């Protein structure tokens, strides 16, 4: 399966600032997703990162708050904009396994953000 | 969209006993059902999955069963060991593309 490098692994941020999380994959992948996992909670899909076009956002998530880039098939970024304490979460990049079918997801190690 | 419910939220078993976690889904078009294990501070890891054309799948001590008519699927862990202690998430996809919708998670604790 694909190897995913995600950074930063953790950060402490001030209210009102923005932070960009990077996701690098060691092979070209068709599907890339960004998930959020709030403390002690399940994984919630933020958006599907589409190569060469705008990301597809899930209900409750908007581009102005979570802009996403995907310039090629191995890299994506998620920005958390104008952060508030409610944005304190783990943000996970995931990719679809193109050998077993696009549904099979591998996750990055996650970026743990704490907003003060 | 898809909605996945998972029960129980916490489960304690004695080492060597079996553990069963159950999930239901809402979208009859869903056709792929994976289970992920997440240890504390770690990323979710796929442990087993099943597609809608199969009713049961086993991998050593782990098995998953699927009832498409009732729209529910279950994870069975036999001969539990302390290292099985983790949070387990079920998920479903297929009806709305390739995205996965996750259940709320089950904290499994295997006690010595």
Mutate which: A43, A56, A57, A93, vs B, most B CBs within 10 A: A43
pLDDT computed for residue A89 by the predictor: 97
Residue B86 vs residue B53, higher pLDDT: B86
pLDDT computed for residue A20 by the predictor: 98
B46:A101 CB<8 A: no
- Nearest C-alpha of chain A: how many angstroms from B39? 12
Averaged pLDDT for residues A10-18 = 97
Residue A92: strand pairing partners: A35
Mean per-residue pLDDT of chain A: 93
Task: Considering only the beta carbons, identify the residue of A33, A41, A110 that sits closest to B99.
Answer: A33
pLDDT in tens, B46-79: 999 998 888 999 999 999 999 999 999 999 999 9
CB B22 within 8 A of CB B3: no
Tell me the pairing of strands B4-7 and A101-107: unpaired
Query: How far apart (Å, rounded) are the C-alpha atoms in residues B60 and B99?
Result: 28
Using 50, 70 and 90 to split pLDDT, how confident is the model at B97? low
Phi/psi-derived region of residue A26, left when phi > 0, alpha when psi is between -120 and 50, beta in every other case: alpha
Tell me the pairing of strands B32-38 and A43-49: unpaired
pLDDT of residue A101 exceeding 70:
no
Query: Can you tell me which residue has the tokens 């995205």?
Result: B99
CB pairs under 8 A between A and B: 45
pLDDT computed for residue A9 by the predictor: 97
Averaged pLDDT for residues B1-29 = 95
B3, closest residue in chain A (CA to CA): A44
A4, closest residue in chain B (CA to CA): B43
The widest CA-to-CA distance across chain B, in whole angstroms, is 42
pLDDT computed for residue A90 by the predictor: 97
Using 50, 70 and 90 to split pLDDT, how confident is the model at A105? confident
Can you tell me whether residue B82 is helix, strand or coil?
helix
Whole-number percent of chain B with pLDDT over 90: 84
Residue A1 vs residue A14, higher pLDDT: A14
DSSP symbols for chain A: ---EEEE-SEEEE-TT--EEEEEEESS--S-EEEEEE-TT--EEEEEEEPTTS--EEPTT--TTTS-EEEEETTEEEEEE-S--GGG-EEEEEEEEETTTEEEEEEE---EEEEE-
Averaged pLDDT for residues B6-15 = 98
- List, in order, residues 6 or more apart from A5 with CB less than 8 Å away: A23, A24, A25, A26, A108
CA A17 to chain centre: 18
pLDDT computed for residue B99 by the predictor: 81
Task: Considering only the beta carbons, identify the residue of A41, A42, A103 that sits closest to B98.
Answer: A103
pLDDT computed for residue A75 by the predictor: 96
pLDDT of residue A65 exceeding 90:
yes
Residue A98 vs residue B3, higher pLDDT: B3
- List, in order, residues 6 or more apart from A62 with CB less than 8 Å away: none
B94:A110 CB<8 A: no
pLDDT of residue B96 exceeding 60:
no
- Nearest C-alpha of chain A: how many angstroms from B5? 11
B29 touches A: beta carbon within 8 Å: no
């Amino acid at each position: 399966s694909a190897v995913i490098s995600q950074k930063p692994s953790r950060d402490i941020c001030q209210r009102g600032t923005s932070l960009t999380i990077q996701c690098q994959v060691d092979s070209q992948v068709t599907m890339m997703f960004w998930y959020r996992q709030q403390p002690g909670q399940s994984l919630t899909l933020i958006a599907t990162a589409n190569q060469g076009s705008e990301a597809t956002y899930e209900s409750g998530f908007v581009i102005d708050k979570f802009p996403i880039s995907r310039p090629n098939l191995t890299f994506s970024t998620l920005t958390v904009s104008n952060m508030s304490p409610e944005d304190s979460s783990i943000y996970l990049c995931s990719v679809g396994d193109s050998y077993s079918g696009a549904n099979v997801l591998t996750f990055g190690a996650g970026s743990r953000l704490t907003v003060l | 969209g898809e909605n996945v419910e998972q029960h129980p939220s916490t489960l304690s078993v004695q080492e060597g006993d079996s553990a069963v976690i159950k999930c239901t889904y809402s979208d009859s078009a869903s056709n792929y059902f994976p289970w992920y294990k997440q240890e504390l501070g770690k990323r979710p890891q796929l442990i087993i999955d099943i597609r809608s054309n199969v009713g049961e799948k086993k991998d050593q001590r782990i098995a998953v069963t699927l009832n498409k008519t009732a729209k529910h699927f279950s994870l069975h862990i036999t001969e539990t060991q302390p290292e099985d202690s983790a949070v387990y998430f079920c998920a479903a996809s297929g009806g709305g593309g390739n995205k996965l919708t996750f259940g709320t998670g089950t904290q499994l604790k295997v006690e010595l």
